[in-house]
Amino acid sequence: MRRPAPTRSDAAGPQLAVRVGYAVASLALIAVVAVLAWPARYGGPMGITVVAGESMLPTYEVGQVVVTARSSSYEAGDVVVFQPAGYEAYVVHRIIGSEESGGLLTQGDNNEFIDPWTVPQGDPIGKVVLAGPKCDHLWCNGFAVARMTPALMLSLGASLVSFGIMVRLFRPGVGRHRPDSYGKERPETPIPATHLISPHPATSQVPTPPVRRAPAGPDRRGGRHQRPDGVPSRS
């Protein structure tokens, strides 16, 4: 029994499902990038800070990148990033205790004195959850951290994700059938493989043509003929 030939409508269903799946996955990925890329200092859950001083040696070196995560509460022992009142720079110090009012007392691991300020419980932009490598050039000069605004970070992340999805979806030949495959029926009797594949190995040598032999007849060497009775005669 012959199978019906595939049509464009038959292939459109699975192809549409694949495209919808990619679209949903791309939207979910963009949402994750948006959440992670939003800096904590602007209300986001995550933050990236570069250690600029020696007050946290030997825990963190100068120029080392630290990643922070916002928390609802902080306790003694947490290394937090905060901006003291009246200061433009952010400070990376460890919590050593708290006051009765709830304010946090901080101190650098390399300092012998407690910081002169009290940090309110809700002021830290996050506690350090990951320490990255050192950076010694452009990033440590504060260029990227200071100028990477939330809108720019989200735009860059969304652009990269969208570009990858578009390349995957609209690349020629991906998820599509060749036009010449529609409307053709499969042969009832499959062609044997021996008809398609030559049993002889390929070679680069030219075959030698067969030697052609002269038919039996009069011997014309030296102008002499061979008579049937075996006696030579001259012409």
pLDDT of res. 188: 53
pLDDT of res. 50: 85
DSSP conformational letter for 111: -
pLDDT of res. 209: 53
Give mean pLDDT, residues 70-98: 92
Q: Assess whether 129 and 170 both reside in one domain.
A: no
Tell me whether residue 159 is in a domain.
Answer: yes
pLDDT of res. 193: 43
> Domain span at residue 28?
9-39+148-178
Tell me whether residue 3 is in a domain.
Answer: no
Helix axes 8-37, 150-170, angle to 10 degrees: 160
**204 or 43: which leads in pLDDT:** 43
pLDDT of res. 158: 63
CATH of the domain at 49: 2.10.109.10
Mean pLDDT of the chain: 69
Strand partners, 80: 93, 127
Tokens of 142: 């504060």
Q: Assess whether 153 and 68 both reside in one domain.
A: no
Tell me whether residue 69 is in a domain.
Answer: yes
Q: Are 38 and 154 spatial neighbours (Cβ–Cβ below 8 Å)?
A: yes
Strand partners, 66: 49, 131
Give mean pLDDT, residues 61-68: 88
Q: Are 122 and 70 spatial neighbours (Cβ–Cβ below 8 Å)?
A: no
Residue-wise pLDDT for 105-129, tens only, equals 999 999 999 999 999 988 898 999 9
Q: Assess whether 124 and 105 both reside in one domain.
A: yes
Question: Which has the closest alpha carbon to 122: 104, 98, 105, 108?
Answer: 104
Tell me whether residue 108 is in a domain.
Answer: yes
Tell me whether residue 206 is in a domain.
Answer: no
Which contacts qualify for 3-6: CB closer than 8 Å, 24 or more apart?
3/186, 5/182, 5/183, 5/184, 5/185, 6/177, 6/181, 6/182
pLDDT of res. 56: 94
Q: Are 126 and 68 spatial neighbours (Cβ–Cβ below 8 Å)?
A: yes
Residue-wise pLDDT for 132-186, tens only, equals 888 754 445 544 444 445 555 555 566 666 666 666 665 555 444 444 444 455 5
Q: How confident is the model at residue 60 (pLDDT cuts 50, 70, 90)?
A: very high
Number of domains in the chain: 2
